[in-house]
Amino acid sequence: MTIPRVEVITSVERRRHWSRAEKERLVAASLEPGVTVSEVARSAGLHVSQLFRWRKQLCTRIDAPPAPES
């Protein structure tokens, strides 16, 4: 009988904080022709859904009409 391998986690990995410039760079890279979102996300070490969320947020801001002046 073999004993299953046990992984011991000794520290807690903290969340990474991405600057707006980093997010914009990754979103721009994911919008390049012939590039897949999963490739960009994997190379940056983040989950694909996170990159899709950033794309949605940044593209929504760009498409939003300017605020009316008073």
14-34: average pLDDT: 91
More reliable by pLDDT, 21 or 15: 21
What pTM was computed for the model? 0.66
Percentage, residues of the chain above pLDDT 70: 81
Where do the domains of the chain lie? 20-60
The burial class, CB within 10 Å (0-12 / 13-18 / 19+), for 30 is: buried
Least confident segment among 16-20, 41-45, 57-61 = 57-61
Helix (H), strand (E) at residue 48? helix 48-63
Q: pLDDT tier at 66 (50, 70, 90 boundaries)?
A: low
